[in-house]
Amino acid sequence: MLCGIASGAALQGSEWTPLSLGDVPLNARSPAFVQFASKGRLLGFGGCNRLFAEYQTSADNDIFIGPVAATRMACEEDIQMFEAQFAAALENARTFRRRETQLTLFDSAGAPILELRQTDWD
């Protein structure tokens, strides 16, 4: 790790909760999270449904996630809308920057689309 910036290998095994989606800050008590599990599997929770995907990272901090699949629980409309936006942000991520317990995902134009905080840093 150099200057607090980590490579893709440093994401494996970590769990993250979203802080903002695009320019919109999220409720600090949101139950949503993603985990970069072993063997390129992404697991998560959007607030009502469990999320599943595959991911790949490179040493150049490229990241590719998706497609994101979810369980089909009946949820409130605002939670369903958030889950769709959360999944879309994950699928649209092309690069990432990790600085200690902060992770930012960027789209193909380099715009930040999802800001997350690591929750399992102990």
pLDDT class of 6 with cuts at 50, 70, 90: very low
Q: Over the stretch 41-64, which tens digit does the pLDDT of each residue have?
A: 999 999 999 999 999 999 889 999
pLDDT greater than 50 at residue 2: no
CA distance 106 to 110: 5
Does residue 71 register a pLDDT over 60? yes
Peptide bond into 25 cis (omega under 30): no
102: Cβ contacts below 8 Å, ≥ 6 apart: 115, 116, 117, 118
| Span 8-118 CATH architecture | Beta Barrel (2.40)
Q: Sketch the domain layout of the chain as residue ranges.
A: 8-118
pTM of the complete model: 0.87
Quick one: which of 60, 65, 54, 67 has its CA closest to 8?
60
Token pair of 70 as six digits: 């979810």
Tell me, what's the pLDDT at 1?
A: 32
Q: How far apart are CA 103 and CA 78, in angstroms?
A: 25
Q: What is the pLDDT averaged over residues 86-110? A: 96
